[in-house]
Chains A and B, each alone.
Chain A
Amino acid sequence: MLDTLKTINLNGTAYKANTYDAIVVGSGISGGWAAKELCEKGLKTLVLERGRNIEHVKDYHTAFKNPWDFTHRLVNTQKDKEECPIQSQAFDQGNKHFFVNDKEHPYIQENPFSWVRGYHVGGRSLTWGRQCYRLSDLDFEANLNEGIAVDWPIRYKDIAPWYDYVEKYVGISGRKEGLSQLPDGEFLPPIDLNCIEAYFEGSVKKNYTDRVVTPSRVANLTEAKDGRGPCQYRNLCSRGCPFSAYFSSNGVTLPAAAVTGNLTLISNAIVAEVIYDKEKKRAIGVRVIDTITKQETKYFAKIIFLNASTIATASILLNSTSEAFPQGLGNSSGQVGHNLMDHFQLAGASGIYEGFEDKYYFGRSPGSIHIPRFRNINAETKQKDFIRGYGIQGKGERLSWNDLYAQTEGVGASFKDKITKPGPWEVWLGGWGETLPYYDNKITLDPVAKDNWGLPILRISFEYGDNEKAMRKDIKQSCKEMLERAGFTNINAFDYDQPPGSAVHEMGTARMGHDPKTSVLNGNNQMHEVPNVFITDGSCMTSSATQNPSLTYMALTARACEYAVEGLKKGLL
């Protein structure tokens, strides 16, 4: 892998040297998949990644550190908080190097929106929470049925085989539940629920007919697979996994792409714009800026996959203006940058359970519990205050010193004894809610302000609507009720006012649709107006559903790669 960008002048031979079959922009979850699929299909593929290289295992320098090995014992410093007011909400000393420095990578918040990201090879595939859920026709049909935004141009049957395909490769632990709103997949054995989680599962089964508690479906290997894993139950995943036991680009898709001999990966390479040829009516390449030398280079290819992640991809499109596309590449619809969505979270409840005092657990689970959506599934579960719904994620554990000290009075031996013994069992539940696509929630490029590389700084404008606000109330209430019915005490129902973006599920800024007038991509993630450009990161999402979205990006990427390669073969692109 080349570490920094090679700079070659564009004479005849260099044009050839800078020309590939395919260019993939970004090496995160979706870019890694595009690289693997295109390389395995025999295309000479160039991956351009704006961040530095992170070599699998070798560069996970914190992975084996104990709490006391960190100078500040994993507590963020005041300087961290001042320099990185956004990212420091997500990082600690163990994974800070996988998040950007806010000072170096500014953006303008017209109203609060946390844009949590990492610029390096692998992107957020290193730090993600690994929760993987399928969308269903309840999601794909919702916009059409309710007359909201535009209709998804695909249905579950179009994507189902691709979910199978990526799940088998990624390795996802989980349990089949036979639910129409959350289709089952190809699962490895689930991570077992602990005593309190299993008790809670039983209680919900007894008290409700409309919902189930299931082990979260996570991309952590409960069994060894293709030379990876199994998981060692350390729950330190966001530092990188030395056992390759969770899915990341660095550990899984990029090595698979490299093995083919077709991959060239260039790090420290910012894609500034896509170059469009109006005679050919095709994109012909990209203009790249070396992050260190600031030198510009152009690369050319027959097809281009944009996988820089939702917000960055939209900004590349908006920055790619030309005579043919004065509003940005493929943006005659005016939809690029609009319809930004994120799940909203941190409404929920927690409670204490008196019992199971003689029970404990061994090993740290990187998973959690999940309660699939149970609102507005059918006529019986229809709500009057809101449409769509939410999924609940939660965790049960025995309280330990980091909670107990604040609740334990006094000092001395008895204080010490109380905080070093396993405390009471607690269950925590929080909703991840669907946000509707609002045209006014958007990113735009500031006409004046520029970043270190002379690229326009982007602006984000975002506000939740009444539907989301009404749903938050219901989440709080339903979490509280489930805990009450299960006999929990000290129930704390909460609704923390978290800035949007905090779920890190931003999506929607180059949506799929049937009609080029109202959408940017067709049902194959192909730009309506630029047929050799494909976008398969979160910007393609027509609605947000409630599920953690990355599995869907992976499936759509693999599907679009097949379509693109077929198109190339047939001479259509």
Chain B
Amino acid sequence: MNRRKAIIGLVGLTGAATASYFFYTQTKQEDLNQLDSNKLFIAELAETIIPRTTTPGAKDAKAEEIIILWLKECTDRKTRNNFIRGLEKLKSRCQAAFDKDFMHCSAQERQALLNQFEKEEKPFAPIFGKIQKKFLGTAFMPTLKEYTTKAYCTSFLGATQGLAYVLIPSRREACIPLQTSQKSWATQ
């Protein structure tokens, strides 16, 4: 038995089991109503990522509405399924860790939970990351973070108060001193 075969032999069984599990989970369409019924939950998750500080937060910007719309209409099925399942997983993890509902957790507890999730779901090394994404879709936490950021930064409140935005600049100043507490331009 050469080395390559040995490896296949070892992972053979578990490999087959995971494969059929993934086949089931990836092709099955999760119930989209779960997104609407979790709207308040998604709003709190978004607020945990981008909270209100001296500037508006994700909830002020109603990030959850566009996040749900993107999940329904702009997201491939695998990624969306991962997201819906991620919501449930997060809920049960929360119960297990803090013995209470996410909605009743403190901001610190919520952050701790999401940070933990982010570590676990980190994509593998870049090359595997790409393959992983193609076959399995994007994982829950990267999607949540990406969509929350985009939802906030393209919203009226996010763009004009969280960031800096000018619809018609009218002039170009190519290289100027950075103002104190200058926000990043919302659009390039």
Query: Taking beta carbons and an 8 Å cutoff, which residues of A are in contact with B?
Result: 64, 66-68, 71-79, 191-195, 198, 232-235, 357-365, 397-398, 400-402, 405-406, 409-413, 415-417, 419-423
Contact = CB atoms under 8 A, between A and B. Distances in A.
Interface stretch (B32-40, B98-106, B154-162): B154-162
Interface stretch (B9-17, B22-30, B169-177): B169-177
A198 B69 CA distance: 42
Contacts of A232: 168-170
B51 A71 contact: no
A124 B111 CA distance: 48
Nearest to A362: B173
Contact of A68 (B69, B154, B163): B154
A357 B150 CA distance: 24
A359 B179 CA distance: 9
Nearest to A65: B167
13 contacts: A66-B159, A73-B66, A73-B150, A78-B73, A192-B175, A194-B175, A233-B169, A400-B186, A401-B153, A406-B145, A411-B111, A413-B51, A416-B57
Contact of A362 (B155, B172, B186): B172
Given A401-B149, A411-B115, A413-B51, A235 B159 contact: no
Contact of A402 (B151, B153, B162, B171): B153
B150 A406 contact: no
B76 interface: yes
B50 interface: yes
Given A71-B69, A405-B146, A416-B50, A233 B176 contact: no
A74 B176 contact: no
B18 interface: no
B92 interface: no
A411 B168 contact: no
Contact of B184 (A64, A72, A421): A421
Contacts of A409: 118
Interface of B: 48-51, 53, 55, 57, 66, 69-70, 73-76, 107, 111, 114-115, 118, 142, 145-146, 149-151, 153-156, 159, 162-163, 165, 167-179, 182-188
Given A68-B156, A79-B73, A233-B171, A401 B114 contact: no
Nearest to B66: A73
B39 to A, nearest CB: 18
A415 B169 contact: no
Contacts of B153: 401-402, 419-420
B163 to A, nearest CB: 5
Contact of A72 (B50, B74, B178, B179): B74
Contacts of B172: 191-192, 233, 361-363, 365
A420 B177 contact: no
**Taking each of A68, A195, A402, which has the highest tally of chain B beta carbons within 10 Å of its own beta carbon?**
A68
A405 B145 contact: yes
A411 B142 CA distance: 12
B118 to A, nearest CB: 7
Contacts of B115: 410-411
Contacts of B114: 411
Given A401-B153, A411-B111, A412-B49, A67 B186 contact: yes
A401 B173 contact: no
B154 A361 contact: no
A364 B171 CA distance: 9
Contact of B183 (A68, A198, A420): A420
B106 to A, nearest CB: 12
Given A73-B154, A361-B174, A416-B53, 6 more contacts: A192-B172, A192-B175, A360-B177, A360-B178, A419-B149, A421-B183
B184 to A, nearest CB: 5
A191 B175 CA distance: 12
Contact of B163 (A77, A401, A413, A415): A401
Contacts of A397: 188
Given A410-B115, A413-B53, A360 B182 contact: yes
A357 B149 CA distance: 23
**Taking each of A234, A412, A413, A423, which has the highest tally of chain B beta carbons within 10 Å of its own beta carbon?**
A412
